[in-house]
Amino acid sequence: MKNLVVLTGAGMSAESGISTFRDAGGLWERYPVEQVATPEGYAANPELVINFYNERRKQLLDVRPNRGHELLAGMEGSFNVTVITQNVDNLHERAGSSHVIHLHGELTKVTSSRHPNDPRYIRELRPDEYEVKMGDKAADGSQLRPFIVWFGEPVPMIETAIGFVRKADVFVIIGTSLNVYPAAGLLYYVPEGVPVYLIDPNEVSVASARKVTVIRKGASEGVAELKKMLSE
């Protein structure tokens, strides 16, 4: 089976009702990024940051995977599908995708404030634990913090992602502005001659000389069209 590698961003989950960060009316307009998505913001006001992610987490209880998520999961019957996502939601997994690499962390997990990437301290929350409070401790005694990669922090999963991109037979980009690095740089690791598809209703500028087949549609319609193209 061919290796289908998919990079997804906020536009993948937008149809499910998850707020995107960068679009008009997005989360960054309501919450300055420095306050809720940087180590400095967390150090200055941990309670604000913890509550911000509590709200994001509770939103997961009200949203469902969209047809785009489901179609991608269904493509595992025809391809070895690896989903590399910039999203911190769990909608790919809930739709049935079995191999998902989260570049920017996972909303449903918490970790140590002291050693955020130490696997000993990372744990999955049950839905009844989605409200994290000040004073809730990780196993090392530090405050539990969201398992999220904030701006200015290293992206531990990027090397793993690059390894899969290098072996891609088909590479697909869905719903990402290609503005956030290192994720946006994954395109440079796609082998020469491998077809690249970009699904987005908006115009996305691709800083690469390679040929990209653009499908100007939202995630659900776009993945349906991609599926048709790949089966021809």
Residues 175 and 71 grouped into a single domain: yes
Residue 24: per-residue pLDDT: 44
Residue 144: per-residue pLDDT: 97
Residue 127: per-residue pLDDT: 92
**Residue-wise pLDDT tens digits, 91-115:** 999 999 999 999 999 999 999 999 9
Q: By residue range, what is the domain housing residue 163?
A: 1-18+65-104+155-232
Residues 14 and 25 grouped into a single domain: no
Residue 194: per-residue pLDDT: 96
Residue 29: per-residue pLDDT: 54
Residues 71 and 125 grouped into a single domain: no
* C-alpha angle 125-126-132 in degrees, rounded to nearest 5: 50
Residue 28: per-residue pLDDT: 47
For the chain, the residue count is 232
Residue 182: per-residue pLDDT: 84
Residues 207 and 130 grouped into a single domain: no
Residues 30 and 141 grouped into a single domain: yes
Whole-prediction pTM: 0.92
Residue ranges for the chain with pLDDT beneath 70? 19-30
Is the separation of the CB atoms in 223 and 174 below 8 Å? Answer: yes
Question: Max alpha carbon distance in the chain (Å)?
Answer: 56
Residues 4 and 37 grouped into a single domain: no
Catalytic residue positions, numbered? 104
Residues 81 and 137 grouped into a single domain: no
